[in-house]
Amino acid sequence: MQTMDDKNSVWRVIAVITSLAVLVITLICVSLALPRWNLYQRMENGPDLSLAPSIVDDHNVPMNLVQQGYSHIGNKALYDVFLDAYYIDVYEVTNGRYKECVDDGKCQPPLTARSYTRDSYYDNPEFSNYPVVYVNWGQAQTYCKWRGGRLPTEAEWEKAARGDADTRPLPWGDDLTCEKTNYDQCFIGDTVEVGSYPGGVSPYGLHDMMGNVWEWVSDWYSKPYHVESPAINPTGPRGGTARVLRGTSFDEYTNMMHVHYRGYDVPLNATFEIGIRCVAETR
């Protein structure tokens, strides 16, 4: 037979267990809410003025800052997304830059040393400052990791090309001309040296965001993804069969020359018109 003291002891134990459970649940809720609260603070605070507008990374590659904030993505139906700040390459990755990673033993050479019309390209010093091609998605990601960065998300790429809250069809505005980019109607028929079109830079001072070569991004491809995309730092679908390409190339037609245009290819594919651009975290 239980005494009153026994019953009180049981209730004290229950009370202690309940208090501990409440404490644990509270700590879990705080740990989950704190990152979101910090994010909301960043959203309210606006640009982080402590960040340098330009940097040179550990491999001497110039990168420009894309400030945190909202941006439009998409075409006719525009979607607002909030992105944290990041740095992105000023130029497409060149043969010379990529070769440094190969020589360091961390990257595999391109599938072939040629370009679309040149038998000797990757291994020819004459084209050291031209964009590397014939690299697949895995090679692109490996190279960016070697630099201490990663491939951009699709949303990061589009913001870098278009600007903060702009609906411009092209990185430099709305006039498609061969003085500002290398595409099919310029009849060059191959890559050109990076930075050849100073009049065609994006609002963030980035060269060749449209034309010259496609650029791998990190996202898996999904046709309706912009509609389903999270509103904060979207990273793409969880899986798929193809990775997204952005920026078009020297071989693409006029109707593709738009910052919203999305290409895609299987990750193992490496072609004459696909290259790399990397991003790096700010913190």
pLDDT digit string (tens) for 101-143?
A: 999 999 999 999 999 999 999 999 999 999 999 999 999 999 9
pLDDT digit string (tens) for 167-199?
A: 789 999 999 999 999 999 999 999 999 999 999
Q: How confident is the prediction for the chain on average, in pLDDT?
A: 89
For a pLDDT cut of 90, what percent of the chain falls above it?
A: 72
DSSP symbols for 117-186: S-SS-TT-GGGTTSBP-S--HHHHHHHHHHTT-BPPPHHHHHHHHH-SS---SBTTBS---TTT---GGG
Instruction: Return the pLDDT at 75.
Output: 73
- Ranges of each domain in the chain: 1-45, 54-281
Select 54-281's CATH number: 3.90.1580.10, 3.30.70.1450, 2.30.30.90, 3.90.280.10: 3.90.1580.10
pLDDT digit string (tens) for 46-56?
A: 788 899 999 99
Confidence of residue 1 (pLDDT cuts 50, 70, 90): low
Quote the strand ranges of the chain, DSSP E: 54-56, 62-66, 69-74, 78-83, 86-89, 214-220, 243-246, 262-265, 274-275, 279-281
Q: What is the pTM of this model?
A: 0.84
pLDDT digit string (tens) for 8-39?
A: 666 676 666 777 767 767 666 555 444 444 45
Instruction: Specify which of 70-84, 171-185, 213-227 reaches the highest per-range mean pLDDT.
Output: 171-185
